[in-house]
Amino acid sequence: MNTKNKGVQDALKMAHGWENQLADFFAKFPHVPEGGRKVIAQILPWLALVFGILGIIAAVAGGLIISIFSIPALLTGNIGGFVMLIAVIVSFTAATLEVLAFKPLQAGMKKGLEFFVLRIVTWCCFSAYFNSREYA
């Protein structure tokens, strides 16, 4: 077994450990009724697809706008253009994860929910980092 696969397997084991800890935590919460779970399972794939496509369009449009304004900003020493470029890349990645979640979510697979949660975590981590800095 090469070290690259070992690293991926270790990361998966760690993620499953977190999942088990969260499952114990959320087991104490009230459960969603069966009808509500079915409605969520039917609506979530379509929400992921629609907002994923809108997110990709917005990220591409934002990238075009930033490409026009970031060069003068970078030439004057302003870091804001670079940060906005990173924001576009993260937005595009998050939206792509949302689109990738559509088929597995529609099939009721856990993989789709993992893509959807990874999209949320990606955007939340970037937002937390971005908001912790003084770029404005």
Cα–Cα distance between 62 and 51 in angstroms, integer?
16
Q: Is the pLDDT of residue 1 over 50?
A: no
Has residue 59 been placed in a domain? yes
Has residue 87 been placed in a domain? yes
* Reported pTM: 0.69
pLDDT confidence band for 4 (50 / 70 / 90): low
* Domain range for 123: 48-132
31 DSSP 8-state letter: P
For the residues 64-87, what does the mean pLDDT come to? Answer: 72
Q: Is the pLDDT of residue 117 over 80?
A: yes
Cα–Cα distance between 73 and 56 in angstroms, integer?
24
Has residue 17 been placed in a domain? no
Has residue 43 been placed in a domain? no
Q: Is the pLDDT of residue 54 over 90?
A: yes
Output the pLDDT for position 133: 67
Has residue 28 been placed in a domain? no
Cα–Cα distance between 126 and 114 in angstroms, integer?
18
Has residue 35 been placed in a domain? no
The domain total for the chain is: 1
**8, 110, 44, 40 alpha-carbon torsion, rounded to 10°:** -140
Has residue 98 been placed in a domain? yes
Has residue 56 been placed in a domain? yes
CB-CB contact of 98 with 45 (8 Å): no
